[in-house]
């Protein structure tokens, strides 16, 4: 495999027939990915992004992952492009399986990363509702599908990028709740019912006016719907702790996200159950992921004060231990 750099990006583009070197006006290494190399390319006609999987993630702890996950992502993008109606996904322009990379369409220049908006205190429950609706579309489309289950049966990336670093690694540091976290990980690994995004978080959404563009499908697999639901909710709760002055807005976003998802999947008993505000499974996974973003292999970069980290640990373990009966009680705990 030839490693992608800004120096050889033009060679890749020419060989794949995307454009000639003379057409390229600028190349920019995008720094917001820890698991991939991303190069933005601008020509006189359009812009696109070259994405290549990294075998070693850019984090403090050793974190290895199979680079074949780029192929999984390409298949997922092709599958979901015509399915997501309340938002959109990129399109793959060219594909190089030998070098584990593809070229995809680029979000508009006017687009903003939803994570950055949320961290800046720009909290919109309407956007959260749209994210819930998009997830509902994805889960409903794929539930009980033997065809999609076969396409995404390989969950190696999910184990390497989520279960090991978020669940098992965190459990190894917290013996008092290790059994619960480990049981949750096993449940995620054994349940196969929907196409799971696997990284359903604000950082993977671009806001383009009123539209949401969903990115990054490298952890997509056929698995448990509760993971995507809990993954997003955990991010919203963590940001409400970080930016406590606007906590009520984050809580509104939490409620809207769940409500929009639940209304869309109302006719499916399984999906409705997992998205219920009283769902024990949902609550415990939120707690597991919250603890993982402090003491797992990929801690959030915006909660660094030791006292605040201890508070998050307390909140997470309280949830994991089953002391919260619903989402409202999690909100009450977070706001104390």
Q: Where are the domains of the chain?
A: 9-105, 112-335
Residue 273 sits at the vertex; the CA angle it makes with 183 and 88, to the nearest 5 degrees, is 95
CB 205 within 8 A of CB 215: yes
pLDDT, tens digit, 9 for 90 and up, residues 248-261: 999 999 999 999 99
Portion of the chain with pLDDT greater than 90, in percent: 82
What does the alpha-carbon distance between residue 179 and residue 184 come to, in Å, rounded to a whole number? 9
What's the topology of domain 9-105? Phosphorylase Kinase; domain 1 (3.30.200)
Q: May I ask the CATH class of domain 112-335?
A: alpha beta
**pLDDT tens digits, 146-203:** 999 999 999 999 999 999 999 999 999 999 999 999 999 999 999 999 999 999 999 9
Whether 9-105 and 112-335 share one fold: the answer is: no
Mean pLDDT within 18-27: 91
pLDDT of 99-137, one tens digit each?
Answer: 989 999 998 888 999 999 999 999 999 999 999 999 999
The DSSP secondary-structure symbol of 279 reads -
pLDDT at res. 86: 87
What tokens were used for 298?
């990929």
């Amino acid at each position: 495999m030839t490693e992608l750099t800004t120096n050889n990006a033009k060679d890749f583009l020419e060989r794949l027939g995307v454009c000639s070197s003379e057409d390229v006006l600028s190349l920019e290494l995008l720094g917001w990915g820890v698991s991939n190399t991303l190069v933005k390319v601008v020509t006189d006609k359009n812009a696109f992004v070259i994405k290549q999987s990294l075998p070693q993630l850019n984090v403090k702890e050793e974190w290895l992952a199979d680079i074949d996950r780029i192929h999984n992502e390409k298949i997922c993008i092709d599958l979901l492009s015509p399915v997501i109606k309340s938002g959109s996904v990129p399109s793959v322009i060219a594909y190089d399986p030998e070098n584990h990379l593809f070229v995809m369409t680029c979000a508009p220049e006017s687009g903003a990363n939803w994570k950055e908006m949320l961290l800046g205190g720009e909290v919109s429950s309407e956007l959260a509702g749209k994210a819930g609706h998009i997830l509902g579309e994805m889960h409903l489309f794929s539930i009980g599908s033997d065809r999609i289950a076969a396409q995404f049966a390989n969950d190696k990336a999910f184990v390497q990028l989520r279960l090991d670093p978020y669940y098992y690694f965190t459990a190894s540091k917290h013996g008092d709740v290790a059994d619960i976290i480990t049981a949750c990980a096993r449940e995620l690994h054994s349940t196969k019912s929907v196409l799971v995004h696997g990284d359903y978080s604000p950082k993977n959404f671009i806001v383009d006016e009123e539209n949401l563009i969903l990115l990054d499908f490298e952890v997509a697999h056929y698995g448990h719907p509760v993971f995507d639901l809990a993954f997003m909710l955990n991010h919203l709760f963590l940001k409400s702790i970080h930016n406590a002055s606007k906590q009520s807005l984050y809580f509104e976003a939490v409620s809207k996200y769940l409500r929009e998802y639940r209304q869309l999947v109302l006719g499916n008993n399984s999906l409705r159950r997992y998205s219920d505000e009283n769902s024990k499974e949902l609550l415990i996974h939120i707690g597991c992921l919250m603890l993982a973003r402090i003491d797992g292999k990929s801690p959030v970069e915006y909660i660094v004060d030791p006292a605040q980290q201890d508070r998050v640990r307390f909140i997470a373990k309280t949830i994991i231990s089953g002391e919260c009966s619903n989402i409202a009680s999690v909100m009450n705990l977070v706001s104390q």
